[in-house]
Structure 1
């Protein structure tokens, strides 16, 4: 098979390209810019384009398929050439389905927790040497790449994003996988550039339920009232299993599942609900609760999901992918509940289209109230790149309903402030789906301990 990737540098795209290369396919690709770690990974397998930019000469009728990434535009010359020649064009979720249509497909959807639930399932399956394919949204320990596709594996575990499939396919990705077993972890409005109202957004999850194969299973968070309502009204001919927070205790900053007293390396109500979702999926895959608990006790978390940067007797530094209001609140609540005797310095970087929208910003009201020192950072370049009007400190304080919140739009000033604080008996939580304008978080964590 000869496959060409347009915008091969994307997170899922380059991982799929590597997975198909390992399967024996002949892979080519193009992009106008490729960042790390995609650049090094593609280079390792001989898949890095020899020159950046688009070239319609790369497209011919010899190709079996073109896979189109979201980064490409609808007037991309390679895309136009493929359309002209009648070459089959797929979005990457469409092609994932093509690779898994003869397998049992587990699809994890929801506004938050998708990567963690998927990572937990992969960890347990890997622990017991089960044969499986997968697509996950972050790099996780024990797995070289974020995508694996083989001929032999009987099941594929897929993280199902609700964002659009490609520039020419406006369907949410998770609608394309046709799950046999599906998870919805909860619903919290996001991607307002595509779903301008909450009703538009929630409708995508209703449609997702309808894509589950007849006789399949939906595992859903019953603590989410809006999700409960959608599930109850659904007439899909599927099995429905709700989940909530499992019984647990916290002792000396460590969480233990009850009644077996299973020690966990993760914490927080949100993570515990994710664990219950993963446990129910594994039950569908014939892994019982005792075996699940044994395996999950060694799970350290997905990358950037309450990831420990440094820890000592009085101070932990975490980084987390949180960026939406619900994720922000859940992450802060988790750290405060786990370390009740420590202060919490919490910093969120806002940089997504939704979070920089002045109308959406008010959705963050109250989300940082449990932080002892609440900080919001927005790189001015983010507004410039998105051609949006910058916020003032007062704008942010009013939107978050927190007059004590501190606001920075200069990375050097933010760093200086963080270094000026006393971290004795205090934790630092850095949250972003970006990079704090190039912040070196391990370096910052090291400086705090000096």
Structure 2
């Protein structure tokens, strides 16, 4: 029997390259394309012998392909992508990213973790625990798990764990965009928080919360909702669940309290303690053994760039974190202050996402960075699609944060400023982007002989 053939349009992303590897492991013949190819994804695809072409061209799509996947922003950049137009003439399935997960990863015992805090960390903790229990789950986590070599895997197990993103994706049939988590059919749902996020897609907090409300309503009667009693807007969601509900937390009265479960984890910070409690609560309710869960969660290392220590000589500590919004930066800084109360705390916060570059977000910045002794804002690149009068400048951003903040648009000057005082200091780099390799350059200078 000939191998199944799949072509992935927009293969150069972290998640889409993981899809390519998953199908390669399933024995499929995999090809893909993108507008440009760069390390580390290009290296990853080459190492796995996956054929990649660039730029987009209709001839890149094999005439005898069995399935086509549209990934990344291929159609956002160009709705008339030539490869997509050709695929539509071939009478084969054309799948979006969440549809791939729905068809190849989601299992009968579908565990989905949602919320705008900690869903990747919780998903990874549950995945590790189920693996340690010998259940070999299928899983997808939107980041690199430090305990696993892959962030996406499909297995023959009847269990799956998926990080459920609330960001809407446009269906390929032209119907209105829906949040990705609606594709994942959860039987077991963990909900960490429903604090308004993605302002560019949800026009109000009410619209954002109602999205979660619909997800909760769709749970099966024999399902389970595990919900954070301390999460924003979570209390109002409980009444919509048609199934059993249990709560968890670190201080507020809950069915599962962090202080009661006997963890001594590798991860630190109250929000990580909350995340681990969520995983413990879910798996205990399902019926798994306490001692095995505690051992697994204690040794869990988390995700790359999720409060990840990349340098530590006791005096100087460097942390990478994907905090991309003011509330996430606040949580990260408070965790650092909690863990290193006697150190100087310096935060570098990149204004990366377009939703942070509008004047409407300036009010959200005030009071979120008080746990730091100093905050640096690197260069803020303009987004052309935001009207000039609505764009927030670097100077306006630091003014909104307060006296603790400094705007340094020149990377060399920023690195020099960081190196001025490194003893007894924790540096935390916060960005969902690459920060133009400032962290790597800073580390190189920090470790070079004086």
Q: Provide closer, same or farther for how the CA distance between residues 36 and 190 of structure 1 changes in structure 2, counting only shifts above 3 A.
A: farther
- The answer to whether the Cα contact below 8 Å between 1:267 and 1:334 also exists between their aligned partners in 2 is yes
Q: Provide closer, same or farther for how the CA distance between residues 260 and 98 of structure 1 changes in structure 2, counting only shifts above 3 A.
A: closer
Q: What is the CA–CA distance in structure 1 between the aligned matches of 2:84 and 2:386, rounded to whole Å?
A: 27
- 1:146-157 to structure 2, matched below 5 A, reads 146-150=151-155, 152-157=156-161
Q: Provide closer, same or farther for how the CA distance between residues 167 and 43 of structure 1 changes in structure 2, counting only shifts above 3 A.
A: farther
Q: Please give the secondary structure, in 2, of the residue aligned with 1:201.
A: helix
- Shift of residue 301, structure 1, vs aligned partner: 2.2
Partner of 2:255: none
Partner of 1:71: 73
- The answer to whether the Cα contact below 8 Å between 1:309 and 1:445 also exists between their aligned partners in 2 is no
Q: Which one of 173, 197, 200 corresponds to residue 193 of structure 1?
A: 200
Q: Please give the secondary structure, in 2, of the residue aligned with 1:226.
A: coil
For structure 1, the 5+ residue unaligned runs are 248-256
- The answer to whether the Cα contact below 8 Å between 1:103 and 1:153 also exists between their aligned partners in 2 is no
Q: Provide closer, same or farther for how the CA distance between residues 157 and 410 of structure 1 changes in structure 2, counting only shifts above 3 A.
A: same
Partner of 2:340: 339
- Shift of residue 314, structure 1, vs aligned partner: 2.1
Q: Provide closer, same or farther for how the CA distance between residues 386 and 145 of structure 1 changes in structure 2, counting only shifts above 3 A.
A: farther
- Shift of residue 243, structure 1, vs aligned partner: 0.9
Greater shift, 86-95 or 160-169, is seen at 160-169
- Shift of residue 39, structure 1, vs aligned partner: 1.2
Q: What is the CA–CA distance in structure 2 between the aligned matches of 1:345 and 1:436, rounded to whole Å?
A: 16
- The answer to whether the Cα contact below 8 Å between 2:112 and 2:189 also exists between their aligned partners in 1 is yes
Q: Please give the secondary structure, in 2, of the residue aligned with 1:297.
A: helix
Structure 1 residue 237 and structure 2 residue 237: aligned?
no
- The answer to whether the Cα contact below 8 Å between 1:137 and 1:146 also exists between their aligned partners in 2 is yes
- Shift of residue 271, structure 1, vs aligned partner: 0.5
Structure 1 residue 272 and structure 2 residue 273: aligned?
yes
Structure 1 residue 293 and structure 2 residue 310: aligned?
no
- 1:29-428 to structure 2, matched below 5 A, reads 29-49=32-52, 51-59=53-61, 62-73=64-75, 74-100=79-105, 102-150=107-155, 152-166=156-170, 168=172, 170-232=177-239, 234=240, 236-245=241-250, 258=259, 262-379=263-380, 382-384=381-383, 389=388, 391-400=392-401, 402-420=402-420, 422-428=421-427
For structure 2, the 5+ residue unaligned runs are 253-257
Q: Please give the secondary structure, in 1, of the residue aligned with 2:162.
A: strand
Greater shift, 345-354 or 236-245, is seen at 236-245
- The answer to whether the Cα contact below 8 Å between 1:60 and 1:82 also exists between their aligned partners in 2 is no
- The answer to whether the Cα contact below 8 Å between 1:411 and 1:436 also exists between their aligned partners in 2 is no
- How many residues are treated as equivalent by the alignment? 433
- Shift of residue 177, structure 1, vs aligned partner: 0.6
Q: Provide closer, same or farther for how the CA distance between residues 246 and 123 of structure 1 changes in structure 2, counting only shifts above 3 A.
A: farther
- The answer to whether the Cα contact below 8 Å between 1:191 and 1:353 also exists between their aligned partners in 2 is no
- The answer to whether the Cα contact below 8 Å between 2:265 and 2:298 also exists between their aligned partners in 1 is yes
Greater shift, 218-227 or 271-280, is seen at 218-227
Structure 1 residue 25 and structure 2 residue 28: aligned?
yes
Q: What is the CA–CA distance in structure 2 between the aligned matches of 1:310 and 1:92, rounded to whole Å?
A: 35
- The answer to whether the Cα contact below 8 Å between 1:56 and 1:81 also exists between their aligned partners in 2 is yes
- The answer to whether the Cα contact below 8 Å between 2:195 and 2:233 also exists between their aligned partners in 1 is no
- The answer to whether the Cα contact below 8 Å between 2:11 and 2:72 also exists between their aligned partners in 1 is no
Greater shift, 299-308 or 77-86, is seen at 77-86
Q: What is the CA–CA distance in structure 2 between the aligned matches of 1:117 and 1:361, rounded to whole Å?
A: 30
Q: Deviations over 1:192-250 (max 9, x none)?
A: 22223222222221122233334211111111241211222x1x422211111179xxx
Q: Please give the secondary structure, in 2, of the residue aligned with 1:383.
A: coil
Q: Please give the secondary structure, in 1, of the residue aligned with 2:306.
A: coil
Q: What is the CA–CA distance in structure 2 between the aligned matches of 1:87 and 1:102, rounded to whole Å?
A: 24
Greater shift, 321-330 or 162-171, is seen at 162-171
Normalising by structure 1, report the TM-score. 0.89
Q: Provide closer, same or farther for how the CA distance between residues 35 and 208 of structure 1 changes in structure 2, counting only shifts above 3 A.
A: farther
**RMSD value over aligned CA atoms?**
2.4
- The answer to whether the Cα contact below 8 Å between 2:193 and 2:232 also exists between their aligned partners in 1 is no
Q: Please give the secondary structure, in 2, of the residue aligned with 1:194.
A: coil
- The answer to whether the Cα contact below 8 Å between 1:310 and 1:445 also exists between their aligned partners in 2 is no
Q: What is the CA–CA distance in structure 1 between the aligned matches of 2:106 and 2:308, rounded to whole Å?
A: 34
Q: Deviations over 1:139-189 (max 9, x none)?
A: 112322211113x11111101111123573621111111101111111222
- Shift of residue 32, structure 1, vs aligned partner: 0.9
